[in-house]
Amino acid sequence: MTGSIATGEIILVVGGGISGMTAALEAAECGKKVVLVEKSPTLGGRTALLYRYFPKLCHPACGLEINLRRLKGNRNVRVLTLAQVTAISGARGDYTATVKVAPRYVNDNCTACGDCERAVQAEIPNPYNYGLDQMKAAYLPHAMAYPQRYVLDPSIAGTEDGERAKSACKYGAVDLDMKEDTLEIRAGAVIWATGWEPYDAAKIQPYGYGLYANVITSVEFERLADPHGPTGGKIVRPSDGKEAKNIAFIQCAGSRDENHLRHCSRICCMASLKQSQYVREAYGAEGRSTIYYIDIRAIDRFEDFYQKVLKDPGVQFIKSKVANIVQDGKTGDVILHGVDTEGYHRYANSHDLAVLAIGMQPSVAAADIPAEVIADSSGFIEGALAGSGVFGAGCATNALDVNRAVQSSTAAALRAIQVVNRVARAEEAS
C-alpha cells in the first residue's frame, strides 16, 4: 500500500485533530511522505466542535479550512479515516503498525449529495454535538467534514434502513458488504497525536451532572453557542428550552483535584472567560455570567482578555470551589452552594444554567498506547524513550491550548523527520 517509496521514510501520524493534521502537513510540506490515521469518519477532531477560539474569538473552522486546503493540495499525505492503530512493532526507522479500518459502508463514489440521508429513517445521538441532539444514521459528520463523504452508522447495516440508503444512492456509493479491514503500514517514525477528551463529569458527584439537565459541560456549551449546533446557536437550557441568561461557570471541574485529575487542564479558565462573551453576544446587557474559580490562569498575553472580561459588568468573579449543585424541580434553576473565600461568605446562588469547565484528559492514556513511551502520572506522554522513533504531539502530551498544541506538533514533525532522514541517508549510503 505504500507504493514504491522506501517504507522507512514514511511518517505515521495517529490522530487527525488539529495536532495530527499539523504534524502531518508540516512534515509533508518538508517533502516527507505521511500516513495520517484518524479513528472517526472525519478529520478536524475536537477543535472542529468549538464555536470560537480564545482570545481572538475567531472561528476554528477558518483554520480548519486552511489545513484542509493544504491537505487537498498535497499528495504526500495519505488519509485513513475510521482507522485505529492497534499494534506497533519494530524499532526506530522500521516500524510496522497494524491499522484496523472500520467499515464506512460508503465508498469513494459518494458525491455527498445527501440522498441517503433523506432516505434513511433511523436516528442516532449526534456525537458531533456531544449527544445533545439526534442525527440520521446516514450522515455527513459536519459541514467541514473531510473526507466529504457520507457514513452509515453500523446499526443500520443489514436493516431496511441500510437498504433504503443503498437504493437511494444513484452512484453505487453505498456498500453494505463492507467489512472491517486490517492494514499493515510500515513507517520510520510515529507521531502519536490522539488528543484529549473531557473528563467524565458524572464522576464529580456533588455537581449532579447527568442528574440535572441544566448542569452541562463547557464542551457542550460550545455546541449550544454554535450556529451549527443543536439549537442553531441559541443559548437555551436543556430542561425546558428557556433562554439561559444567567449562567454559572464552574472552574476546575475535575482538574486540580487529587480525587479526579491532579493536573491543571490549562484551557478551562480561558474557555469560561470566552464563553462569558458568548452570553454577552447572545443577550447583551441581560446576559450575566458568574465565574467560580480558584485562580484565573490567563497566562501571558491572555491576560489582556481576562482584563477585558473583568471590565464587563455582566461578568462576576467569585473565588470559590463550588461545594455542590442542586436543581430546583419546579423552576429548573440550578442552585450553587459554597463559600466565597474572599471574605468567607456562604452563598446559595441561583442560575439558569451551570457550565462545568471540564478538565482535559488524554483520549488514549499513555499506558494504553501500543508502543513504548514515557508516561506521566496523568496519562500524558511525557517524552520519547531514548532511541525511540515514537513521539507525542499536542494534547496527548499535556493539557494544551490550540496554539501550544500546534507548536508541539510542529516540533514532533521535526523529531520524526530526524528519524526518516537518517533512514534516507542510510539507504543512500548502502
Partner 1 sequence: MSDMKTAAYLCTGCGIGERLSAAQLAKVAEREGKMHLVRQHAFLCSSGGVQLIRDDLEREGVTHLMIAACSRRAKTEAFHFPNTAMSRANLREGVIWSQPDTEEARETTQEMADDYVRMGCAEVKKMKLPAGNPDLGHARRLLVVGGGISGMTAALEASRAGYRALMVEKSGSLGGWAARLHKRTAFREPYTDPADTGVGEMIAALQSDPNIEIVLNASIAKTDGAPGRFKVEIAVESGSARTEDVGAIVQATGFSTYDAAKLPEFAYGKTPNVVDQAGLERLAREAGANPIRRPSDGGEVKSVVFVQCAGQRDDSGIHLPYCSGFCCATSIKQAMYFKDANPAVDTAVIYTDLRVPGNGEDFYRSAQSKGVTFTKGKVTGVEPGGNQCKVSFRDLILDEDTAISDVDLVVLATGQVPNSGVNIGDPEDAVADAEVKPISILNLSYRQGPDLPQLKYGFTDSHFICFPYETRRTGIYAAGPVRRPMDIAQATEDATGAALKGIQAMENAHAGRAAHPRSGDLSFPIVRLDGCTQCKRCTVECPFGAIDEDEKTYPVFNESRCRRCGTCMGACPVRVISFENYSVDTVGAQIKAVEVPDEFSEKPRILVLACENDAYPAIDMAGMQKNVYSAFVRVIPVRCLGSVNAIWITDALTCGYDGIMMMGCKHGDDYQCHFVKGSELASVRMSKIGDTLTQMSLETERVATYEVAITDMARVPRLIDEYAAVINKIGMSPLKGFA
User: Does 5 sit near partner 1 (CB under 8 A)?
Assistant: no
Q: Give the nearest distance from C-beta 421 to partner 1 in angstroms.
A: 5
Q: Give the SS3 label for residue 300.
A: coil
Residues 210-249 that bind partner 1 (CB under 8 A): 226-228, 232
Maximum C-alpha span of the chain = 78
What residue has cell string 428550552? 241
Residues 178-217 close enough to bind partner 1 by CB under 8 A: none
Q: Which 255-314 positions form the footprint of partner 1 (CB under 8 A)? A: 256, 262-266, 295-304, 307
**For residues 214 and 277, which CB has a smaller minimum distance to partner 1 in the complex?**
277
Asked if residue 227 has a cis previous peptide bond (ω within 30° of 0), the answer is: no
The verdict on 430 binding partner 1 (CB under 8 A) reads no
Buried b (16+ CB within 10 A) or exposed e, 378-409: bbbbeebeeebbbbbbbbbbbbbbbebbbbbb
Residue 185 half-sphere exposure, CB side, CA atoms within 13 Å? 32
Chain length of the chain = 430
Q: Which of 93, 121, 125, 19 is nearest to 425 (CA)?
A: 93
User: What is the rounded CA–CA span in Å between residue 402 and residue 60?
Assistant: 10
Considering only residues 64-83, where is the footprint of partner 1 by CB under 8 A?
Answer: 64-67, 69-70, 72-75
Q: Is 346 in the site for partner 1 (CB under 8 A)?
A: no
Site for partner 1 in 21-40 (CB under 8 A): 25-26, 29-31
| Position among 240, 383, 385, 426 found at the interface with partner 1 (CB under 8 A) | 383
Site for partner 1 contains 87 (CB under 8 A) = no
Is 426 a residue that touches partner 1 (CB under 8 A)? Answer: no
70 contacts: CB under 8 Å, gap ≥ 6: 25, 29
Return the range that interacts with partner 1 (CB under 8 A); candidates 18-26, 130-138, 154-162, 323-331. 18-26
Q: Between residues 72 and 328, which has the closer beta carbon with respect to partner 1?
A: 72
User: What DSSP state is assigned to residue 105?
Assistant: S
Q: Which residue's C-alpha cell is 459588568?
A: 313
Size of the site for partner 1 (CB under 8 A): 88
Q: Show contacts with partner 1 in window 118-147 (CB under 8 A).
A: 143-144
Residue 418 binds partner 1, judged by CB under 8 A? yes
When the beta carbons of 331 and 410 are compared against partner 1, the nearer one is: 410
- The dihedrals phi and psi of 286, each to the nearest 5 degrees, come to -75, -20
Residue 403 within binding range of partner 1, rule CB under 8 A: yes
> Which residues 354-373 are close enough to bind partner 1 by CB under 8 A?
none
The answer to the question of residue 425 lying near partner 1 (CB under 8 A) is yes
